Structure 1
């Protein structure tokens, strides 16, 4: 598999992002390996919080949430999906599939031997993370879902998503930072916007971010429709603590929290919340508020040991 690797120079001096890089190797399904980047912060003895980003962000999105969590003794793992951040970037559209992304991110669980995981997932972080919860429920202790969903294509994805999908394919130059800016409600500094662009020095590095919108199951003939339906069958039996923390200003995922609360038994009795003054990327708009919701959720639902 042909891929590009963003130079380390692109990540020097990024605003608020001074974390040490870590890497694992994952199968490229063509007889070679790709390098996947992840952050590993906090106590190695602490409970694991796995933070999964989506499109077209990277682990930089979680930078302001990490310290409040690690200060309480937890270990934060925040990967960059293949094609994003400091991870390798295959150059062909066909290199990117929903199943491959799922298999790639599964390596974080298996290679790092993560157990009793608290998942924090937003955007594609949920499309991947919730599938992993369904396929490996024994590895997860809790789930916090924010501005995400696990679509099957059985219901129309909505006008906002379809407009976004069309834009992502038609725009001549894919404006990564511009997309982040347009999906937040707070003003982002030039330094922050530059950090979102940092992994993608030219258009050739953006194959993955271009392809991602097309991988969302939007119709019942999607290759992952059946697998996502099967995942929902498991999630409808998932009774471990599950909380929703959607924002108040995201037209793409609005209402998804109510569906989860209705269908997933682990949501019962939890203190679900709506994050005020938050756009789609609520980790950027309200990182401290979301971090406090997470800490309270963990505190309210301790892991029971025999």
Structure 2
């Protein structure tokens, strides 16, 4: 497997992202290893909050949320998915599958030996993070789903997703920073747009970002459909606290919160919220507000 690694200097002086890098190795699935980057902030003995990003962002997305979560006393773990951020980037699009993404994160999770975890997931962070929760339910204490889903392909994707999927494959140059800027309600400064572009010095680094939209199950015969259905069977029995915190201005995942509230027992009695003035990437629009929701949720559902 040919692997690219973004030069460290690409990540120098990013606004609001003054966090020390951490790395571990995961099996690439072909006899080699990949370096996976993660942030690890706050007291190491505290129960962890696992922040899972999606497409085409990276842990930079959570820079506004990490300080208030740490201030509340939590250990915060924010990995970069393989193909994103400071993690290694396999060069061929065929190197990326849904199953591999899950396996890579499962390996990192097991190496970190995390217990009593609060999952916070958005976009592909939910497609992968909820699979992780379903495969290791005893290791999680609670979960927060924000602008995400766990599709099985049994429901037709909405027009907004189809338009995004088509754009992602047709556009000559995949404009990562501009994609983020176009999916928020605020106006991103040029230096923040550049922060989202930082992991991708040129198009050769974007194989994972290009491939992700094609890996979302959109038909029942999708390779990931059976595994996602199996994960749903776990979620349908999940009675630990589960909160939805979707934003009010995301055409991609609108209504997904109601699906979780209907099917996941742990959603009952929770203070589900709608984050106002938030686009698809609500961590960028309303990061501090979402962090406060997460802190309040953990405090209200503290382990006895």
TM-score class, shorter: over 0.9
1:97 matched to 2:83? The reply is no
For 1:27 and 1:19, locate their aligned partners in 2 and report how far apart those are by CA, in whole Å: 25
Which residue is 1:269 aligned to?
Answer: 269
1:198 matched to 2:201? The reply is no
For 1:112 and 1:234, locate their aligned partners in 2 and report how far apart those are by CA, in whole Å: 23
Which residue is 1:128 aligned to?
Answer: 128
For 1:25 and 1:134, locate their aligned partners in 2 and report how far apart those are by CA, in whole Å: 23
Q: Deviations over 1:24-47 (max 9, x none)?
A: 000011111110000000000111
User: Where does the alignment leave 5 or more consecutive residues of structure 1 unmatched?
Assistant: none
Which residue is 1:257 aligned to?
Answer: 257
* Moved beyond 4 Å, runs of 4+: none
Which residue is 2:106 aligned to?
Answer: 106
For 1:116 and 1:218, locate their aligned partners in 2 and report how far apart those are by CA, in whole Å: 33
1:117-156 equivalences under 5 Å are: 117-156=117-156
SS of alignment partner, residue 194 of structure 1: helix
Which residue is 2:62 aligned to?
Answer: 62
Which residue is 2:215 aligned to?
Answer: 215
Q: Deviations over 1:165-184 (max 9, x none)?
A: 00000000000001000000
Which residue is 2:189 aligned to?
Answer: 189
Which residue is 2:171 aligned to?
Answer: 171
SS of alignment partner, residue 234 of structure 1: helix
For 1:72 and 1:227, locate their aligned partners in 2 and report how far apart those are by CA, in whole Å: 35
Distance apart, 1:108 and its partner CA: 2.3
Which residue is 1:87 aligned to?
Answer: 87
User: Where does the alignment leave 5 or more consecutive residues of structure 2 unmatched?
Assistant: none
Which residue is 1:12 aligned to?
Answer: 12
Distance apart, 1:146 and its partner CA: 0.1
Which residue is 2:279 aligned to?
Answer: 279
Distance apart, 1:157 and its partner CA: 1.1
TM-score, normalization: structure 1?
0.99
For 1:294 and 1:73, locate their aligned partners in 2 and report how far apart those are by CA, in whole Å: 12
For 1:188 and 1:303, locate their aligned partners in 2 and report how far apart those are by CA, in whole Å: 38
Contact 2:50 2:118 in 1 (8 A): yes
Question: Between Structure 1 and Structure 2, how many residues are aligned?
Answer: 304
For 1:73 and 1:231, locate their aligned partners in 2 and report how far apart those are by CA, in whole Å: 31
For 2:33 and 2:201, locate their aligned partners in 1 and report how far apart those are by CA, in whole Å: 23
Distance apart, 1:135 and its partner CA: 1.0
Q: Deviations over 1:131-174 (max 9, x none)?
A: 11111100100000000000000001100000000000000000
Distance apart, 1:283 and its partner CA: 0.1
Q: Deviations over 1:96-139 (max 9, x none)?
A: 00000000011222001000000000000000011111111001
Contact 2:26 2:108 in 1 (8 A): no
Distance apart, 1:291 and its partner CA: 0.5
For 1:171 and 1:303, locate their aligned partners in 2 and report how far apart those are by CA, in whole Å: 48
